[in-house]
A and B are shown apart, each in its own frame.
Chain A
Amino acid sequence: MIDLLLDTAPRWALLHAPALLVMAPLFLAPLLAILPSGRLSWLISIFATLFALFCALILVGQVQASPVGVVGYDVGNWPMPIGIVLRVDALNSMILLLVASIGVLATIFSWPTVKAEIPERKHPLFYSAFLVCFAGLCGVAITGDAFNLFVFLEISSISTYVLVALGAGRDRRALPAAFNYLIMGTLGASFYIIGVGFLYSATGTLNIADIASKLPDLAGNRSVEAGFAFIIVGLGLKAAVWPLHQWLPNAYSYSPSFVTMFLSATATKVALYALIRFLFTVFRPEFAFEQATFTYLLMPLGLAAMITCSFQAVFQTDVRRTLAYSSVAQVGYMILGVSVGTVAGVSAGLFHLLNHAMIKGALFMAVAGVVLTFQGTTIRDFAGLGRTAPWTMTGFAIAALSLIGVPLTAGFQSKLQLGYALFDQGMWWAVVFVVFSSFLAVIYMGRILEAIFFRPPINPRKSRKEAPILLLVPLWILALANIYFGITTELPLGLARDAAAAAFGLEAF
């Protein structure tokens, strides 16, 4: 299919796909801001994300076709160390594909919820901010320049703060949440840029590939180590690595439903991508300090996230907060996979990243449907919805089972891969943690499912009220994807393995 795309796409698209992928949404964003109609801006957003998906597919195809597995693009024809390059390999083409496809599905489903939750005059501005955020996330994923990465990170973050704050129309607590997120996010970004500064002082370059090539000669250089520490902590904060996750539960619970859904499936994922890029491409696991960080920092943090946040999820009364804490726990799985430090471990982490995006996307979409029709997000509000909104809730249940890791769902497959990777390194005890955390997931998702399907509705007047079709279709696409990729893992696992190999700078599998 991708071959067909490569054959039929116009020449300009093939040549400039990396730049167009970011630039199209970025330049459409200010246009949206001056549009009078919200519906029109929604349609344009769909177009922009679809176009980005088109470019992302082209890039995936080009990377797979390329003999070295890398597609490079010199912005403004300035060659590498001087100008900014966009550099796509299997790792970030996978992330781009993920962000773009989630972006398309999210934009399509957004209209009913945006209409209900955002004041009408702010609709164009809302979509404008969304496109900026989308472009920023794509930019982080695509750029080959460490400073440029910071810029895109800030572009996406600042627009995210705006998007989160717009939840104030529904719940005033969105404002402190957004402010808290702003402070923390800025802290993370500052740490990152300080780290980049240290690296620049040691290597004299900002290009990621260039830094990577110069680092091995700088063994024992203190500023490299300081740069490493700052970058890990900064990006870790953005990726919501425990215990730097505390901006996340509030931001996810109070922002508009659509924003929650989009962010949960993309924002932390992109930050995690950047973390993996620095851990494996720029720095290398062979560096003693990195190995020590894996063993003594990332692995304990991953395990702690899996356990404590799952426990916290168990005790939440609000569905969105439960899911938010569960997200942090899932980030723990990915961090655990990464901290194994092998190709198998990283590919398991990336595989779980893909699956988790599908899972949480579907779950938050279903929750958005409930917010839309029943104006409630506590578990009590969900009681009896299995009868009043069967389609929405079945989609929710499928994704929930996948989150738990029931066989024949995507969530099971990625936990299985993670288990394999851990066993390979003889870390069977970590598998015990994975199983225990899955058991906690059974409890916290089980509570919600029990309320949905086995309890009578608290308000019997709530008659049959399904979420709108615009919402159901993307929800079911994601839910069915969970089952499909739970049965045949070829496509996502192949992407994840190639990506992990690319992160290590190896030839594709």
Chain B
Amino acid sequence: MTGLLSMLNPGWLLIAVGLVALFLPVRRVRQGLTIAAPIVAILLVSMADRNLNLLTGEALGLEMVFYRVDNLSYIFGLAFLLAALLNAIYAWHTDDRLQDGMSIAYAGAAVAATFSGDMMTLFVFWELTAITSVFLILRAGTRAAYFASMRYLGVQILSGVLLLAGIGYVYQSRGDLSISAFTSLNEPGALLVFIALGIKAAFPFLHNWLQDSYPKATVVGAVVLSAFTTKLAVYAFARMFPGHDALIWIGAVMTVFPVFFAVIENDLRKVLAYSLNNQVGFMICAIGLGTAGVGNALALNGASAHAFCHIIYKGLLFMSMGAVLYRTGTTKASELGGLYKSMPWTTVFCIIGAMSISAFPLFSGFAAKSLTMTAVGKEGYTIVWLMLLFASAGVLEHSGIKIPYFAFFGHDSGKRVKEAPFNMLLAMGLASFICIAVGVPAIVPGFGYEWLYNLLPYREEAMAYHPFTLDHVLTQMQLLVLAIFAFVMLKRLGWYPPEKPGVVLDSDWLYRKAGYGMATWTGTVWQKVGPAMSTVFFKLTGRAYERIEDTFSPRGELARGGLASGMAIWTAILLGFVLLLSFVTTG
């Protein structure tokens, strides 16, 4: 029995539950299912044997591996399942079949993709994450959300199409589709796959869909969205492109540039979206350092640990902002402030999330990020190291201080609302617990950060690493204290960008404004020139059509003269031609 169960991809279980939930009208039963499914799934994963193709199949002449667990996929899958559990608890107060079903199916697709052993299966679930997640944005019901979701869907499908094209090339050159690392970007299909993953991971200039859509999603939707799509891409990068130098620089740029946008952005959920981008940058950078197999095991460990912690604390931050949105109806910094009086628990949980993301010692971010920082320092990429350092300060600035400060402290907005519903608090509390639990030193061996390190892909190296050394703690504290000092100074002197309402245009200006203008302009021009051109065109085609009809129609040239009566002649001509050919070629 257990043998059979441990062969079932837990992602499929979640997708199945999602499908059932879509049609299940009884609210509590449905929500009970969505909570129970991740728990069962976690049990299933922990039972599964490692490094074995547990479930295979064949379709379209391809060997498909539906379920394969190893150390790398295990930690990502576990984080996804934990996130699914927290999300389900967080959604307890809503009554929305579509949202419940799609959230759990989306999580399931991400898990199934993580545990897939070949690229075709990966592609299928890759697309499924896109299709299921779009409903979470659409469900917000606003006009802006509708257009954002369509843009989102377009970009996600584009990523899927590129991935499929890449897979095609890979299949042609390798002859099989098992997931293995690319040795170079010049390999056939590698670049296509790279770009496809890059879109999902929101690389610089491919990132706009994220800031565009996440803040417009529903309260629960934003929490759910923050966990899966980008981290799935991170996982895929860790699988297929570990140690590619390009990733180091892309990751470093990714950590730095969102800082500027995040600092001046007014919508706090959009700030979180930018900081999500910045965090993924750390992971991408770490993957760029870690070569497959041996090499710098520290870096891949760092990426995995960071992804794990990040899923939890970013979820926590989105949850707290969701609670604020749920109670006050807005997340604009300019309309918020002073909420700590009415929402004390939410404030505490938000601060815990903020401290985790800022990598305060004793919080999960510290345990994860110091792995990456050490790896970068060890490899001697000084500039990258400095960029990451700057980005860390930036994280503290916009996520660590700005979010709690503008929402819960700052100038009093005068809003007096109820505390968040209990289920939200419970979900946030659990997330906070995980944030602290994996952040504290391993006073009891095997707990604290060691529990997390135990799960990492390269266990021995991870266990040999100690985050709580004097220089780590000192460096981090210096950085944090200085950043806080800077914030206080700027605030005092009035230089900190004030919380002003407005929209920050990112490079999506290119296609949302310039591209739109271009399209309108082309449309106008076409309206003017079009008729003239179509007259010319139709005249030309009309004439061509007449010529073709003259030749080929039943009354035409071919049927009437030339060929029809002269078939006997044609036999003779062809005979003569073949004879001539033989004569010439052998003559």
A residues contacting B by CB (< 8 A) are 183-184, 187-188, 191, 219-220, 225-226, 228-230, 232-233, 236-237, 243-244, 246-247, 288-289, 291-293, 296-297, 308, 311-312, 314-317, 321
In residues 567-587 of chain B, which contact A (Cβ within 8 Å)? Answer: 567-568, 570-571, 574-575, 577-579, 581-586
A-B contact pairs, 9 of them (CB 8 A): A225-B582, A228-B582, A233-B574, A243-B563, A244-B567, A289-B582, A291-B585, A312-B552, A315-B554
Q: Assess A237 versus B585: contact at CB under 8 Å? Given A297-B578, A315-B552.
A: no
The 8 Å CB contact of B585, one of A247, A292, A311, A316, is: A292
Q: Assess A244 versus B556: contact at CB under 8 Å? Given A228-B582, A289-B582.
A: no
Do the beta carbons of A315 and B574 come within 8 Å of each other? no
Please report the C-alpha to C-alpha distance between residue A93 and residue B123 in the assembled complex, in whole angstroms: 42
Q: Which of A226, A230, A289, A316 has the largest count of B CB atoms less than 10 A from its CB? A: A289
Q: Assess A191 versus B575: contact at CB under 8 Å? Given A184-B567, A225-B586, A289-B585.
A: yes
Measured between beta carbons, the chain A residues less than 8 angstroms from B568 are: 183-184, 187
Please report the C-alpha to C-alpha distance between residue A153 and residue B571 in the assembled complex, in whole angstroms: 18
The 8 Å CB contact of B581, one of A184, A243, A293, is: A293
Measured between beta carbons, the chain A residues less than 8 angstroms from B553 are: 312, 315
Do the beta carbons of A243 and B578 come within 8 Å of each other? no
The 8 Å CB contact of A246, one of B567, B575, B578, is: B567
Please report the C-alpha to C-alpha distance between residue A314 and residue B570 in the assembled complex, in whole angstroms: 24
Determine if B95 is an interface residue (Cβ-Cβ < 8 Å). Answer: no
Q: Which of A183, A292, A297 has the largest count of B CB atoms less than 10 A from its CB? A: A292
Measured between beta carbons, the chain A residues less than 8 angstroms from B578 are: 228-229, 232-233, 293, 297
Do the beta carbons of B570 and A243 come within 8 Å of each other? yes
Residue of A nearest to B548 (CB): A311
Do the beta carbons of B581 and A246 come within 8 Å of each other? no
Please report the C-alpha to C-alpha distance between residue A277 and residue B430 in the assembled complex, in whole angstroms: 77
The smallest C-beta distance from A343 to any residue of chain B, in angstroms, reads 20
Determine if B510 is an interface residue (Cβ-Cβ < 8 Å). Answer: no
Determine if B558 is an interface residue (Cβ-Cβ < 8 Å). Answer: yes
Please report the C-alpha to C-alpha distance between residue A314 and residue B578 in the assembled complex, in whole angstroms: 31
Determine if B559 is an interface residue (Cβ-Cβ < 8 Å). Answer: yes
Do the beta carbons of A312 and B559 come within 8 Å of each other? yes
Do the beta carbons of B564 and A233 come within 8 Å of each other? no
Do the beta carbons of A289 and B581 come within 8 Å of each other? yes
Measured between beta carbons, the chain A residues less than 8 angstroms from B571 are: 187-188, 191, 233, 237, 244
Do the beta carbons of B582 and A230 come within 8 Å of each other? no
Do the beta carbons of B585 and A246 come within 8 Å of each other? no
Do the beta carbons of B582 and A229 come within 8 Å of each other? yes
Measured between beta carbons, the chain A residues less than 8 angstroms from B581 are: 289, 292-293, 296-297
Do the beta carbons of B586 and A244 come within 8 Å of each other? no
Please report the C-alpha to C-alpha distance between residue A315 and residue B574 in the assembled complex, in whole angstroms: 27
Residue of A nearest to B581 (CB): A292
The smallest C-beta distance from B581 to any residue of chain A, in angstroms, reads 5
Please report the C-alpha to C-alpha distance between residue A282 and residue B168 in the assembled complex, in whole angstroms: 40
Q: Assess A230 versus B575: contact at CB under 8 Å? Given A289-B586, A315-B553, A317-B554.
A: yes
Residue of A nearest to B574 (CB): A233
Do the beta carbons of B586 and A297 come within 8 Å of each other? no
Measured between beta carbons, the chain A residues less than 8 angstroms from B575 are: 191, 229-230, 233
Please report the C-alpha to C-alpha distance between residue A184 and residue B264 in the assembled complex, in whole angstroms: 86
Please report the C-alpha to C-alpha distance between residue A248 and residue B581 in the assembled complex, in whole angstroms: 27
Please report the C-alpha to C-alpha distance between residue A312 and residue B552 in the assembled complex, in whole angstroms: 5
Q: Assess A297 versus B552: contact at CB under 8 Å? Given A225-B586, A308-B558.
A: no
Do the beta carbons of B586 and A288 come within 8 Å of each other? yes
The smallest C-beta distance from B556 to any residue of chain A, in angstroms, reads 7
Binary per-residue interface labels of chain B (137-149) against chain A in the complex, 1 for a CB within 8 Å, 0 otherwise: 0000000000000
Do the beta carbons of A246 and B574 come within 8 Å of each other? no
Determine if B551 is an interface residue (Cβ-Cβ < 8 Å). Answer: yes
Determine if B461 is an interface residue (Cβ-Cβ < 8 Å). Answer: no
Please report the C-alpha to C-alpha distance between residue A49 and residue B89 in the assembled complex, in whole angstroms: 70
Residue of B nearest to A249 (CB): B559
Q: Assess A247 versus B586: contact at CB under 8 Å? Given A292-B581, A311-B551, A315-B553.
A: no
Do the beta carbons of B577 and A297 come within 8 Å of each other? yes
Determine if B549 is an interface residue (Cβ-Cβ < 8 Å). Answer: yes
Measured between beta carbons, the chain B residues less than 8 angstroms from A293 are: 578, 581-582
Please report the C-alpha to C-alpha distance between residue A230 and residue B576 in the assembled complex, in whole angstroms: 9
Residue of A nearest to B555 (CB): A315
Complex A-B, nearest 9 residue pairs according to Cβ-Cβ distance, in ascending order: A315-B553, A289-B582, A229-B578, A225-B582, A311-B552, A292-B585, A288-B585, A246-B567, A292-B581
Residue of A nearest to B551 (CB): A311
What 15 new A-B contacts, CB under 8 Å, besides A233-B575, A243-B563, A246-B564? A187-B571, A191-B575, A220-B586, A226-B579, A228-B578, A229-B579, A229-B582, A244-B571, A246-B567, A288-B586, A289-B586, A291-B585, A314-B552, A315-B549, A321-B554
The smallest C-beta distance from B309 to any residue of chain A, in angstroms, reads 46
Measured between beta carbons, the chain A residues less than 8 angstroms from B564 are: 246
Please report the C-alpha to C-alpha distance between residue A244 and residue B582 in the assembled complex, in whole angstroms: 20
Please report the C-alpha to C-alpha distance between residue A484 and residue B552 in the assembled complex, in whole angstroms: 35
Measured between beta carbons, the chain B residues less than 8 angstroms from A184 are: 567-568
Q: Which of B551, B552, B556, B577 has the largest count of A CB atoms less than 10 A from its CB? A: B552
Please report the C-alpha to C-alpha distance between residue A232 and residue B577 in the assembled complex, in whole angstroms: 11
Residue of B nearest to A289 (CB): B582
Please report the C-alpha to C-alpha distance between residue A315 and residue B563 in the assembled complex, in whole angstroms: 17
Please report the C-alpha to C-alpha distance between residue A244 and residue B568 in the assembled complex, in whole angstroms: 8
Measured between beta carbons, the chain A residues less than 8 angstroms from B548 are: 311
Please report the C-alpha to C-alpha distance between residue A291 and residue B567 in the assembled complex, in whole angstroms: 25
Residue of B nearest to A307 (CB): B552
Do the beta carbons of A316 and B554 come within 8 Å of each other? yes
Measured between beta carbons, the chain A residues less than 8 angstroms from B556 are: 315
Do the beta carbons of B574 and A247 come within 8 Å of each other? no
Measured between beta carbons, the chain B residues less than 8 angstroms from A232 are: 578
Measured between beta carbons, the chain B residues less than 8 angstroms from A233 are: 571, 574-575, 578
Please report the C-alpha to C-alpha distance between residue A308 and residue B554 in the assembled complex, in whole angstroms: 12
Please report the C-alpha to C-alpha distance between residue A314 and residue B567 in the assembled complex, in whole angstroms: 22
Please report the C-alpha to C-alpha distance between residue A308 and residue B563 in the assembled complex, in whole angstroms: 12
Measured between beta carbons, the chain A residues less than 8 angstroms from B582 are: 225-226, 228-229, 289, 292-293
Please report the C-alpha to C-alpha distance between residue A232 and residue B586 in the assembled complex, in whole angstroms: 17
Q: Which of B551, B571, B583 has the largest count of A CB atoms less than 10 A from its CB? A: B571
Binary per-residue interface labels of chain B (448-477) against chain A in the complex, 1 for a CB within 8 Å, 0 otherwise: 000000000000000000000000000000
Measured between beta carbons, the chain B residues less than 8 angstroms from A297 are: 574, 577-578, 581
The 8 Å CB contact of A308, one of B552, B567, B570, B579, is: B552
Q: Assess A244 versus B574: contact at CB under 8 Å? Given A184-B567, A229-B579, A312-B559.
A: yes
Measured between beta carbons, the chain B residues less than 8 angstroms from A296 are: 581
Please report the C-alpha to C-alpha distance between residue A289 and residue B568 in the assembled complex, in whole angstroms: 24
Residue of A nearest to B60 (CB): A487
Please report the C-alpha to C-alpha distance between residue A220 and residue B577 in the assembled complex, in whole angstroms: 18
Measured between beta carbons, the chain A residues less than 8 angstroms from B563 are: 243, 246
The smallest C-beta distance from A253 to any residue of chain B, in angstroms, reads 11
The smallest C-beta distance from B285 to any residue of chain A, in angstroms, reads 42
Measured between beta carbons, the chain A residues less than 8 angstroms from B585 are: 288-289, 291-292
Binary per-residue interface labels of chain B (47-67) against chain A in the complex, 1 for a CB within 8 Å, 0 otherwise: 000000000000000000000
Measured between beta carbons, the chain A residues less than 8 angstroms from B577 are: 297
Residue of B nearest to A310 (CB): B552
Please report the C-alpha to C-alpha distance between residue A246 and residue B566 in the assembled complex, in whole angstroms: 9
Q: Assess A244 versus B570: contact at CB under 8 Å? Given A297-B581, A315-B549.
A: yes
Measured between beta carbons, the chain B residues less than 8 angstroms from A314 are: 552
Residue of A nearest to B549 (CB): A315
Residue of B nearest to A246 (CB): B567
Measured between beta carbons, the chain A residues less than 8 angstroms from B579 are: 225-226, 229
Measured between beta carbons, the chain B residues less than 8 angstroms from A317 are: 554
Residue of A nearest to B553 (CB): A315
Please report the C-alpha to C-alpha distance between residue A219 and residue B586 in the assembled complex, in whole angstroms: 9
Measured between beta carbons, the chain A residues less than 8 angstroms from B559 are: 312
Please report the C-alpha to C-alpha distance between residue A236 and residue B579 in the assembled complex, in whole angstroms: 15
Please report the C-alpha to C-alpha distance between residue A288 and residue B584 in the assembled complex, in whole angstroms: 10
Residue of A nearest to B565 (CB): A246
Please report the C-alpha to C-alpha distance between residue A291 and residue B582 in the assembled complex, in whole angstroms: 10
Q: Which of B570, B578, B583 has the largest count of A CB atoms less than 10 A from its CB? A: B578
